[in-house]
Amino acid sequence: MRAVLTDAAYGRGPARDGAVNVEYVSANPTGPMHVGHGRGAVFGDALASLLVFTGHAVTREYYINDAGAQVDVLARSAFLRYREALGEVIGDIPEGLYPGDYLKPVGQALASEWGDRLRSKPEAEWLPIVRAKAIAMMMDEIKGDLAALNIHHDVFFSERSLIEDGNNKVAETIDFLRAKGDIYEGRLPPPKGKPVEDYEDREQSLFRATAYGDDVDRPLIKSDGSYTYFASDIANHKSKFDRGFADLIDVFGADHGGYVKRMQAAVKAVTAGKATLDVKIVQLVRLLRNGEPVKMSKRSGDFVTLREVVDEVGRDAVRFMMLYRKNDAVLDFDLAKVIEQSRDNPVFYVQYGHARGHSIFRRAREVVPDLPAEDSARREYLSRGPLERLTEPEELDLLRRLALYPRMLEGAATTHEPHRIAFYLYDLASEFHALWTKGGTELPHLRFISDHDASLTKARLGMVQAVVSVLASGLAILGVHAPDEMR
RNA sequence: GCGCCCGUAGCUCAGCUGGAUAGAGCACCAGACUUCGAAUCUGGGGGUCGGAGGUUCAACUCCUUCCGGGCGCGCCA
């Protein structure tokens, strides 16, 4: 108890060896983020903060998929907007291109930068130019979306940089694996499930993923000679290992579920088993309003953007609610509920607990006039109080809950489950609210502030302070504000 | 067909990595405001933890199998 008060780092873990790399978001730079991306972003960010808090050296990484066919589609879509910006009537966006309005600014930027000089060039010439511009602008947009959630990465790692001329890491990685005997030329059985139209049985370079626990071996080179996404992702993970990370965490969306085994197999092969990869799959988010599914957005083309949601309900609600669920369970996110100020809404409930504590401090000056207003001074002051006078069973229950905090964090960190923090905070707030009300009603001797016993008041304020500190600490890890008042 | 995830109270979900009578919110019923913010709290009813086997002194938790739902399943990322 005294430790909670005196130790500003209560719950922190000891510094540990080894560096952890958390890769999250990694949304394709082809448009604005949607709420599914947002969940992965919040999850990854909170997990990274949790690991930092428990003593790990953490790098937050974003892998930019800027090399595949989808960015060429992006470029062609942007080129259409460019011609539109020059005054052409482009009509409906053709099937296969991105229809969203968000590419209009890219077209306009290209028009003002290049005039009509791109229009007459052959695609081979304009495509790299348009592509680079579009990717840059999309990444700016994504970074803006992330900033609205207070999410920032240490490293933005470009897939394209892996295949640069003269420094082709993908080729290096393939050579590396080939030298180990992990690559062979062979054929794959046709895929099960829904038929693939242009299936063609051919001999190809296959990674021996089955030797490392995967179900089938995986192709690395397409028939046109370019690398598969998987090939560059192996190089991506090898790069992490080469940069000194032995603890790798990937946060993927639900649609990447089938990708886990092959990626873990690849990491095993490429690091000789010296690195571990944990892949956290973040399940879908169902956006609701009062229980009804939310309509699609015009701006994005076909989905509700993350920014629209954040703008509507606020950063704290988005962050907390996305962490108030196990990552591998589908999440219902109700836009109406998360801004309610009631017990239905855990965000509010926990924040209110924190605010209520501060409310008690404000009122307490009538009994303890020299109670410092500043947080660390107040902690220091209260840590010298007669804490041994906290003897009521309800108080001891609360103290036990506080004592659980470090162990809870440790468990959350080792299992990579930040949602445990959110649930713990909810429980702590609940116990605190209950004790508060008891003091106000049926058991007046439990009131935190005793007008005739300044000593006891100090001890109890110490307890309140401990609750406030732990709530603030946990909320900080989740990236949610801990307000002093909420009137 | 295969892989991964989910299945716990009417509804939405926790369950501390096997440990004591399975918890919370909503909803329903009954209560508490001359209170340190009632934006809160107290009590009650309600569950064969999807089914069936197995491992164990002990299973919501681990294994097998079936049922139901979601996601994914060559050179898309």
A249 three-state secondary structure: strand
Residue A221 gets which letter from DSSP?
A: B
For the beta sheet containing A245-253, the strands, ordered from the edge strand earlier in sequence to the opposite edge, are A155-158, A57-64, A19-23, A245-253, A276-282
- Whether the CB of A379 is less than 7 Å away from nucleic strand B comes out as no
User: How many angstroms is C1' of B17 away from CA of A285?
Assistant: 26
CA distance linking residue A469 with residue A483, whole number of Å: 12
Query: What does the longest C-alpha to C-alpha distance in chain A come to?
Result: 88
Q: Taking a C-beta distance cutoff of 8 angstroms, is the pair A102, A299 a contact? A: yes
| Contact flag, residue A418 CB and nucleic strand B, below 7 A | no
Q: Is the CB of A290 under 7 A from strand B?
A: no
CA–chain centroid gap for A271, Å, is 26
A360 touches strand B (CB under 7 A): yes
| CA angle in degrees (0–180, nearest 5) for A269-A271-A274 | 120
Q: Is the CB of A297 under 7 A from strand B?
A: no
Q: What is the DSSP letter of A212?
A: G
Per the CB < 8 A criterion, the answer to whether A240 and A268 are in contact is no
CA closest to B7 C1', residue: A329
Identify nearest nucleotide to residue A363 by CA to C1′ distance.
B36
**What's the CA A118/C1' B49 distance, rounded, in angstroms?**
65
Give the residue carrying structure tokens 């209009």: A104
Predicted pLDDT of residue A168: 93
Q: Is A88 left (phi over 0), alpha (psi -120 to 50) or beta?
A: beta
Whether A420 sits with its Cβ under 7 A from any strand B atom: the answer reads: yes
User: What amino acid is encoded at A372 in this protein?
Assistant: P
Q: How far apart are CA A132 and CA A127, in angstroms?
A: 8
Say what the pLDDT of residue A294 is. 80
Give residue A236's pLDDT: 95
Between residue 183 and residue 212 of chain A, the positions with Cβ below 7 Å from nucleic chain B are 188, 190-194, 196, 198-202, 204
Q: Which nucleotides of strand B lie under 7 Å from a protein CB?
A: 1-7, 12-17, 24-26, 32, 35-42, 70-77
Subset of residues 87-146 in chain A with CB less than 7 angstroms from any atom in strand B: none
With b meaning 16 or more CB within 10 Å and e meaning fewer, what string describes A275-306? bebbbbbbbebebeeeeeebeebebbbebbbb
Please give the pLDDT value at position A439.
Answer: 82
The SS3 assignment for A286 reads strand
Q: Which residues neighbour A222 within 8 Å (Cβ) at sequence distance 6 or greater?
A: A228
Rounded to whole angstroms, the Cα distance separating A57 from A48 reads 9
Chain A span 40-79 residues with beta carbon within 7 Å of strand B: 65, 67-70
ipTM over 0.95: no
Q: Please measure the distance between the N-terminal and C-terminal CA atoms of chain A and give it in whole angstroms.
A: 30
What pTM was computed for the model?
0.94
In one-letter notation, the amino acid at residue A11 is G
Asked if the Cβ of residue A415 lies within 7 A of any atom of strand B, the reply is: yes
Q: Is the CB of A326 under 7 A from strand B?
A: yes
Rounded to whole angstroms, how far apart are CA atoms A486 and A217? 56
Task: Give the whole-angstrom CA distance, residue A226 versus residue A160.
Answer: 12
pLDDT digit string (tens) for A397-454? 898 899 899 999 999 999 999 999 999 999 999 999 999 988 877 678 888 998 888 8
Q: Is the CB of residue A260 inside 7 Å of nucleic acid strand B?
A: yes
Give the per-residue pLDDT at A209: 92
How long a stretch of residues is chain A?
Answer: 487
pLDDT value of position A451: 84
Strand B within 7 A of A435 CB: yes
Is nucleic acid strand B under 7 Å from A404's C-beta? Answer: yes
Considering all nucleic acid strands, name the nucleotide whose C1' atom is nearest to the C-alpha of residue A357: B36
Report the alpha-carbon distance of residue A266 to residue A481 in Å, rounded.
Answer: 40
Q: Which residues 6+ apart lie within 8 Å of A291 measured at CB?
A: A334
Of the candidates A472, A428, A455, A467, which has an alpha carbon nearest to the alpha carbon of residue A4?
A467
CA distances from A238 to A210, A233, A234, A241, A448 (A): 19, 8, 6, 5, 56
Give pLDDT, residue A144.
95
Residue A353 CA and nucleotide B74 C1' are separated, in Å, by 54
Pairwise CA distance, residues A314 & A48, whole Å: 21
Distance CA A139, CA A31 (A): 9
Can you list the residues of chain A whose pLDDT is less than 50? Answer: none
Residue A165's pLDDT is: 76
Q: Which residue lies nearest B5, CA-to-C1' measured? A: A328
Q: Is the CB of A158 within 7 Å of strand B? A: no
pLDDT in tens, A131-164: 999 999 999 999 999 999 999 999 999 999 998 8
Closest CA to the C1' of B12: that residue is A332
For A410, the token pair is: 């440790």
What's the CA A423/C1' B30 distance, rounded, in angstroms? 29
**What's the CA A288/C1' B12 distance, rounded, in angstroms?**
13
What H or E segment, with its residue span, contains residue A293? strand A292-293
